[in-house]
Amino acid sequence: MDTSSVSQKTTIKFSPNSFNSIEIKKYNNTNIKIDGELNEAVWKKIEKFGNFAEVSPGDNSRPDVETEVMMYYDDENLYLGFICYEKDMTKLRKSLCERDKMFSDDFCGLFLDTYNEGRQAYELFVNPCGIQGDLLWTTPGNEDDTFDMIWYSAAKVYNDKWTIEIAIPYKSIRFPDKKLQDWQIQFLRIRPRENRYQYSLMALSRDDPTLFTHACKIKGVEQIKGGKNFELLPYVIGTQTGAITDNSNSNSEFKNEKPEGDFGFNLKYGITSNITADVAVNPDFSQIESDAGIITVNNPVAYSFSEKRPFFLEGANIFNSPVFVVYTRSINNPFLATKLTGKIGKTEFGYLSAYDKNTSFIIPFAQSSDVISTDRTSLSNIFRVKQTLKNESYIGFILTDREVNKEGPFSLKLLNFDSYRNNKSQFLNVDGYNRAFGIDGKFQFLDNYILDFQVMKYVTKEINYPQYDNSGTFDHGKYTNALDGEYYTGFQNYAILTRSARSWNYNVSYRDISPTARRDNGYLGNNDFREIASWQGYMFYPDSKTFLRVQPEFNAYIRSFYDGTPREQFLRPNIWIQFSNQMNLYSGFMLVNNERFGGIFHEGARRGFINFNINTFKLITLGGYIEIGKYIIRSDNPYIGYGRDIEFWSTFKPLNNIVIQNNYTYYELSKGYRGEMIYAGYIFRNTTSYNLTRDITARIICEYNTFSGSFYLNPLASYKPNPFTIFYFGFTNMFNDTDTPNGQPKYILSDRQFFLKMQYLFRI
């Protein structure tokens, strides 16, 4: 239907689309060029679907402008064209930036669920400069922004509209291996103006628990093939490093090492349209951008970091479960890794195996955890299977196993099985292991209710590692904190009931984890507790030009140690307000915050916080977080003190191809209000990017950290025609505050590294 001429007069009642399926046709040999212009003959004979509804902040109301979408397919690709009409093109928000950095702009695209289950969908969006953004959506509304895939798009800006052209290769997506496809799709346009308007082809009910509760079906796609494609991703990398010989002496010699090189490759084979095998030999898991600095003061629990390495990102959603059982950054520096992921019928499965050259450990205790790195080699195996039941419901099983070898660094001789038979340099000469296995599931019922659960058992045989010096004990003195070869088992149970609806939303959860629970292939910050928790919120939709949505809510939990000894009591009322002009405010106060720490039950550690975001303007966005009040000082002799946790961030776009991001984090602790200062410091990080084209970027990161007394500088030039073909050149300089012979501090260049990386994707 062509709705470009539909009247915008409010006197005409608006009726959202009521159809539940779209029939698309196959056209071969269209000679289409993905340039965003939609001027090929095929687009002129395809039906246009319009009449988009405003689903936010409006409730399926008539939007200010029209949007239209067209679709067809051939033997290789699914094609889509979008026409986004505009009243005032000067208000269009567009950036020439790196992929996935365009989500504050205008953008338009789709959610594609190729299994018609409503549990997972590809998110593919394009802004007016043709910049791609891709994510992986999973129920009930989670988005994985680390997901990348090969697809093609372009955009064109006119005087009264902008258009998009998209081609999605079947080689890039997974779908059932059958003759007739049964897909479902949602189309969404984001238009940030006075408000962040969202337009959908299909009406969306605020009472639906997920985006795909009522989705549009795609009919007519048949006899397409996606499997049996082969990908080779070789890389070469060169580095040259240097450092001062004595970190405590600013006058010590700066020594440059000889340049070094390395190479490796990844192989990917699409066995069928829904089963993929991956092999990586000496994979390049180097990161060209460091993790942002974090303040660890007064936090004895280990942090987790997001995965950035391409091999682990492929099919990562398969290994997800309600409990953080698989944390792939625990596989630190693998020499060889293999993976098989896919889906047969309603059964989804994944298998991952990796031989790690430098094994790391997160060692959890009741209220703290330690992180150590070793030169021990290890073999990790992870198996995951899920059986879809109905709608979002599933039942699953997960197993992880890590076998850690005895002392000795990695050598290629370890892979020589003749040496293995002669009991020399053994490939598997196990000193310790950790195994985790259990079942999990999700059940949807009564439309708006979901029950998630997971039950896990852990089996641990510690390695003998005297370098880890920890003289304490756990589980009432049964075991030592040291890594001295002890054997023990542990358990974990988790369940959460969630209601997702138009107004009243809540969850109620229970979890417990024994003091002997460890998961070396997962993330576990602490153990030894039982917890009952709840979150309750009620959403109001005021008929106001100032307030769009208001949600009062509260978080509460009661936690004990595993043996039943009271540990924590927490109650925090909050309020979330969405204002017009793209402003948000979230604030709360810890009304009850009591905790037993260090053998002392601390009461009244009350404090409040406020979090705000302002996206009103085209050139700059602002935000901040402020938390002030009483904190538990987590020292050897803990007590309640006073603190401030402050963070501000901004993004400035002086031109559409220049982005300047700033982040400032300040943290302080004192013995009381205006009392003696214990800690005080900040981290300031600036990232400035310049895009010459969609594929060519220059970027520089600067970070100043007063806690560590360091300054970090990282310029980078890159050419990135797709997410996997990459050419990088850059260097890092680390300056540290080092004492001089006369006792005066001085910032000197303490570490430096130059690097060059080339990686090219061959797809057959």
Give the pLDDT score at 289: 55
**In whole angstroms, what is the distance from residue 527 CA to residue 512 CA?**
8
Tokens in use for 114? 């190729």
User: So what's the pLDDT on residue 490?
Assistant: 97
Residue 189, strand partner residues:
108, 199
Q: Which two three-digit tokens encode residue 185?
A: 């799709």
Cβ-based burial of 28 (10 A; exposed 0-12, middle 13-18, buried ≥19): exposed
pLDDT for residue 290: 58
Which among 730, 740, 675 is positioned nearest to 287, based on CA atoms? 730
Q: Which two tokens stand for residue 761?
A: 């994707």
| Token pair belonging to 464 | 């003998």
Cα-Cα-Cα-Cα torsion 38, 43, 44, 47, nearest 10 degrees, comes to -130
Predicted local confidence at residue 225, as pLDDT? 87
Q: How far apart are CA 400 and CA 420, in angstroms?
A: 25
- What domains appear along the chain, each with residue ranges and CATH number? 21-219 (2.60.40.1190)
> Is there a contact between 341 and 279 (Cβ–Cβ < 8 Å)?
no
Q: Pick the closest to residue 292 from 663, 553, 582 (CA basis).
A: 663
**What is residue 282's predicted lDDT score, i.e. its pLDDT?**
84
Give the pLDDT score at 8: 36
Instruction: Take residue 91 and report the two structure tokens written for it.
Output: 């208000």
Q: Which of 97, 85, 147 is nearest to 121 (CA)?
A: 147
* Contacts (Cβ under 8 Å, ≥6 apart) of 284: 235, 237, 262, 264, 757, 759
What is the rounded distance in angstroms from the CA atom of residue 531 to the CA atom of residue 508?
11
Over the chain (764 residues), what is each successive 10-residue block's mean pLDDT? 35 81 93 95 95 96 97 96 97 95 96 93 97 93 90 97 97 92 96 96 92 90 85 92 84 90 91 91 64 79 83 86 95 93 94 94 95 94 95 93 86 52 61 97 93 98 94 94 97 97 97 97 96 98 94 98 96 98 97 95 97 96 97 94 97 96 96 92 96 96 92 94 92 85 74 93 90
Alpha-carbon gap, residue 545 to 540, rounded angstroms? 14
What is the Cα–Cα distance from 751 to 739, expressed in whole angstroms? 16
**Helical (H) or strand (E) element with 442:** strand 430-445
The Cα–Cα gap between 107 and 745 comes to: 50
